[in-house]
Structure 1
Amino acid sequence: MQLINNPSRKDWSRILKRPTKTVDDIEVTVLNVFKDVKLNGDKAIKSYTEKFDKVALDTLLVSSTEISDASNNISDELKNAIQLAKSNIEKFHTAQKTKRVFQETMEGVECWQEKRPIQKVGLYIPGGTAPLFSTVLMLAVPANIAECKEIVLCSPPNKEGKIANEILYAAQLCGVTKVIKVGGIQAVAGLTFGTESIPQVYKIFGPGNQYVTVAKQLATKYGVAIDMPAGPSELLVMADESANASYVASDLLSQAEHGSDSQVVLVTTSQKFAEEVDSEVYKQLDNLPRKAMATDAINNSKSIVVDNFQTALELIDAYGPEHFIVSTSNDDFFVENIGNAGSVFIGNYTPESAGDYASGTNHTLPTNGFSKAYSGVNLDSFQKSMTFQKISDVGIRAIGPSIELMAEAEGLQAHKNAVTLRLKDLKS
């Protein structure tokens, strides 16, 4: 990891830059795939699946037999672990339910707000270098709690034309209504336009590589909502000499092994501690099965030494990490003052892995600095807030004259007339 000591503030944006491609580099590819899928449906989907995933498929839909077989090929120990994670995720997301908000703003004017489910949602589950069945739990569980009617899951097939057993098991456990063997740009395009096999949805969820991220952003131009622009994974750890260097190194590597384009950052007030963590990183790195990928990510990563906690906080907020671990002599300072982070992990015994799998919080989080404006996925992500109002004759008499004056001032005579007609009838 590159060690940077007390960088000048004017250099922060350069130092904290993510190792990502620009949109211009990949937007043309995404546009071409979208056009093809919109025009040719399943035929285009299968063509891109053969090109990118190296498998020719007769059908895109996962059968009930495949789902049943997948369940039989998973150990009871893993099933129990998945079920424990599901239970915790259900508990935390069920607790996010809110009651109807009601307010009589003035006599005879009643206003209220209710949550309603997004009826059709698409879940994108990466396969590739690591089949992320945990993401199925993170997306399908709250979708079910929200009572979404259609929950369509897309995930890329392997070279045998199959989806990982763990993904299929989690999908049926969490109430997914349809599973499609498709990944990448073509999956997002299919969910956007709908094809013979893939239902069109109203909102698309899920992480992915930079191509998937750009595809999701393009989907919004066709009237489909997305959870957030989530790209390559990232982690920032704030730690001082009170922390355990081996724990910190393991946390940094847990994100680095996601992919070569992942980024991890250590911020500390001690150069000695930074050097200890660096040594631990390379010691642990040698034993990782995904060593080559993690090494690429580590080479893009940094240890930044600053003078004090206040400077550290300002630098972290400027970065806006997806995952933020704090393990210092004064964790409360960061917990109480952090403004930009997708999810926060506090203390020596709270690894980021807990949030990735089983503590109950959601691991689908904003990356690339989007935590400055976006929330991670939660129950509200699968719902819409609808407002209602009911005005009585007493209410329209009280509020009507103000509406008439405001409408007239804006030059909207029909708006004024809609009130005037009612008031005239009430006077007669």
Structure 2
Amino acid sequence: MLRVWDPQAFLEFLNERRTRFYPEVEAQVRAILDRVCREGDEALYDLTLRFDGADLRGCGLRVAEAEYAAAAAQVSAEFRAALQVAVDNITAFHRPQVPHSWFMTRPDGTIMGQQVSAVDRAGIYVPGGSAPLFSCLLMTVIPAVVAGVREVIVCTPPDRAGRIDPHMLVAARACGVKDVYKVGGAQAIGAMAYGTATIPRVDTIAGPGNYYVTLAKKLVFGPVGIDMLAGPTEVLAVDDGTADPEWLAADLLSQAEHPNGMVILVTTAGVGRVEAVGAAMERQAAALPRAETIRRSVAELGAALTVASLPAAAAIVNAVAPEHLEVNVADPWSFLPLVRHAGSIFLGPWTPEPIGDYIAGPSNVIPTEGTARYASPVNVETFIKRSAVTCYSEAAFLAQAPHAVRLALTEDLQAHARSMQVRLEAAARRGSAGIG
């Protein structure tokens, strides 16, 4: 079920895939964003009917209080209990990330520092489709709430009847969301970026989505901040032959369950090991409801690479910079220092990637397609900004401003220099008057 690749050939294939560009899709997204910017709610009603098959003109774009009440009655006590464990774990993980303002006083009396504050309003996008991904809601909303964001709103596409899955609504209320809007796709990103009569404009947009959503986030960046440009999910499992092949197979299939999910096995145990894991994947996939999606993902984006050593495996990991990295080796902690680029790392046989999707604590909204080389999962910092603070004393200014004037004049920026010179001249006049 897994195709065995030459490592170098696979990396070349990956690079080519990751650099593809679809200008025709970008043109469609631009048109959607333009409509939302010009027409506001009217565009959202029309586009939701067109793309999601839901006519919301009767009930409106915003989820009503009665819908939250109805949702609460539809979910089980077991779901609520599991949800609370997830909320507690995610909150506990993100609390230590909160940065604090700081200030320092130099010997000359100048006070320098940094003031930390959260954005005022964050917009969270939660994908729809065949599964209610309330886990994405938790993993993006909770870091924003912990960061201190005053208002968090959520956009997610409705079903054809204009409803939002009750588990999604219960999850939203469990982590402090006041308003959920029944809007998906690029039009939701436009609504949060530009604002409409119903949906308020936000400062930062976070959350994964399909290619249209990702392109929309790219195009609105500037007027609003974004978390990342996320692509299809991916998992890379490093194996030294000590893990149970059935467990490895199950872990790889968990990401192939998503359309276009990429699954990669890097093993030091040879081709026979690949065959054993592949056979286990085939057996397990046959019994899964999403078998067709899984087989398509694995056929298109399933890969196995055999390497001679764990350092060689680490070199592959760092070149791929996977979204999810599973380390299934005898001593995973000794492998960890070799990893430089990975979005989220799962160590040992009892830490399958899906436990991170739901309940471990770190966000499951993670950089994909190699962007873990420079980007991080959604976290408190996604919703934080820093303001530099400077306060010179008169003595410090008089001592340092002549140097700054010299630098400004060297750049031929006369007005910059003059801003400082007027103060220096005033101080000189005052000093002369005092001497006289």
Which interval holds the TM-score relative to the shorter structure?
over 0.9
Q: Distance in 2 between matches of 1:404 and 1:174?
A: 52
Partner-residue secondary structure (3-state), 2:345: strand
How far did residue 180 of structure 1 move?
0.4
CA contact (8 A) 1:21 1:210 kept: no
How far did residue 214 of structure 1 move?
1.0
Instruction: Give 2:133's aligned residue.
Output: 132
How far did residue 17 of structure 1 move?
5.3
Equivalent position amino acid for 1:308 in 2: S
Q: Distance in 2 between matches of 1:17 and 1:82?
A: 40
Instruction: Give 2:378's aligned residue.
Output: 377
Instruction: Give 1:157's aligned residue.
Output: 158
Q: Distance in 2 between matches of 1:187 and 1:11?
A: 36
Partner-residue secondary structure (3-state), 1:57: coil
Alpha carbons of 1:334 and 1:367: their partners in 2 closer, same or farther (altered >3 Å)?
Answer: same
TM-score, length of structure 2 as denominator length? 0.93
How far did residue 225 of structure 1 move?
1.4
CA contact (8 A) 2:328 2:349 kept: yes
Which runs of structure 2 are paired with 1:378-417 in the superposition (5 Å)?
378-417=379-418
Asked if residue 42 in structure 1 is aligned to residue 41 in structure 2, the reply is: yes
RMSD across aligned C-alpha pairs, in angstroms?
A: 1.7
Count of residue pairs the alignment pairs up? 425
Equivalent position amino acid for 2:262 in 1: Q
Instruction: Give 2:257's aligned residue.
Output: 257
Instruction: Give 1:80's aligned residue.
Output: 81
Deviations 1:167-191 (A, max 9, x none): 1111111111311001111111111
Instruction: Give 1:267's aligned residue.
Output: 266
Q: Distance in 1 between matches of 2:3 and 2:221?
A: 40
CA contact (8 A) 1:239 1:268 kept: yes
How far did residue 331 of structure 1 move?
2.2
Instruction: Give 1:244's aligned residue.
Output: 244
How far did residue 302 of structure 1 move?
0.6
CA contact (8 A) 2:104 2:112 kept: yes
Instruction: Give 2:419's aligned residue.
Output: 418
Partner-residue secondary structure (3-state), 1:364: coil
How far did residue 16 of structure 1 move?
6.2
Q: Distance in 2 between matches of 1:302 and 1:391?
A: 59
Q: Distance in 2 between matches of 1:397 and 1:247?
A: 69
Partner-residue secondary structure (3-state), 1:406: helix
User: Relative to structure 2, which stretch is displaced further, 15-24 or 361-370?
Assistant: 15-24
* Bigger radius of gyration among the two: 2
Instruction: Give 1:112's aligned residue.
Output: 113
Alpha carbons of 1:306 and 1:236: their partners in 2 closer, same or farther (altered >3 Å)?
Answer: same
Partner-residue secondary structure (3-state), 2:97: coil
Equivalent position amino acid for 1:273 in 2: R
Instruction: Give 2:56's aligned residue.
Output: 57
User: Relative to structure 2, which stretch is displaced further, 335-344 or 10-19?
Assistant: 10-19
Deviations 1:296-322 (A, max 9, x none): 111121111122222222222111111
Q: Distance in 2 between matches of 1:337 and 1:118?
A: 36
CA contact (8 A) 2:122 2:152 kept: yes
Which runs of structure 2 are paired with 1:270-419 in the superposition (5 Å)?
270=269, 271-300=271-300, 301-419=302-420
Equivalent position amino acid for 1:103 in 2: M
Q: Distance in 2 between matches of 1:351 and 1:99?
A: 33
How far did residue 6 of structure 1 move?
4.3
CA contact (8 A) 1:407 1:415 kept: yes
Q: Distance in 2 between matches of 1:274 and 1:130?
A: 30
Alpha carbons of 1:21 and 1:393: their partners in 2 closer, same or farther (altered >3 Å)?
Answer: closer
Equivalent position amino acid for 2:123 in 1: G
Q: Distance in 2 between matches of 1:413 and 1:19?
A: 47
User: Relative to structure 2, which stretch is displaced further, 267-276 or 161-170?
Assistant: 267-276
Instruction: Give 1:194's aligned residue.
Output: 195
Partner-residue secondary structure (3-state), 1:102: strand
Partner-residue secondary structure (3-state), 2:366: coil
Q: Distance in 2 between matches of 1:11 and 1:84?
A: 40
Equivalent position amino acid for 2:339 in 1: I
CA contact (8 A) 2:267 2:305 kept: yes
How far did residue 337 of structure 1 move?
2.0
Partner-residue secondary structure (3-state), 1:48: helix
User: Relative to structure 2, which stretch is displaced further, 146-155 or 417-426?
Assistant: 417-426
Which runs of structure 2 are paired with 1:90-239 in the superposition (5 Å)?
90-220=91-221, 223-239=223-239
Instruction: Give 2:23's aligned residue.
Output: 24
Alpha carbons of 1:13 and 1:354: their partners in 2 closer, same or farther (altered >3 Å)?
Answer: same
Q: Percent identity?
A: 36
Q: Distance in 1 between matches of 2:105 and 2:136?
A: 42
Q: Distance in 1 between matches of 2:190 and 2:12?
A: 33
How far did residue 106 of structure 1 move?
4.4
Equivalent position amino acid for 2:34 in 1: K
Q: Distance in 2 between matches of 1:244 and 1:11?
A: 25
Equivalent position amino acid for 2:246 in 1: S
Q: Distance in 1 between matches of 2:406 and 2:92?
A: 50
Alpha carbons of 1:70 and 1:21: their partners in 2 closer, same or farther (altered >3 Å)?
Answer: farther
How far did residue 79 of structure 1 move?
0.5
How far did residue 19 of structure 1 move?
8.2
How far did residue 155 of structure 1 move?
0.5
Deviations 1:14-62 (A, max 9, x none): 1565589733241122112112111211111111111111111121110
CA contact (8 A) 2:311 2:338 kept: no
Deviations 1:342-384 (A, max 9, x none): 1111111111111111111111111111111211111011110
CA contact (8 A) 2:5 2:303 kept: no
CA contact (8 A) 2:2 2:278 kept: no
CA contact (8 A) 1:323 1:344 kept: yes
Q: Distance in 1 between matches of 2:375 and 2:312?
A: 24
Q: Distance in 2 between matches of 1:126 and 1:177?
A: 18
Instruction: Give 2:13's aligned residue.
Output: 14
Partner-residue secondary structure (3-state), 2:340: coil
Q: Distance in 1 between matches of 2:74 and 2:10?
A: 52
Partner-residue secondary structure (3-state), 1:95: helix
User: Relative to structure 2, which stretch is displaced further, 163-172 or 9-18?
Assistant: 9-18
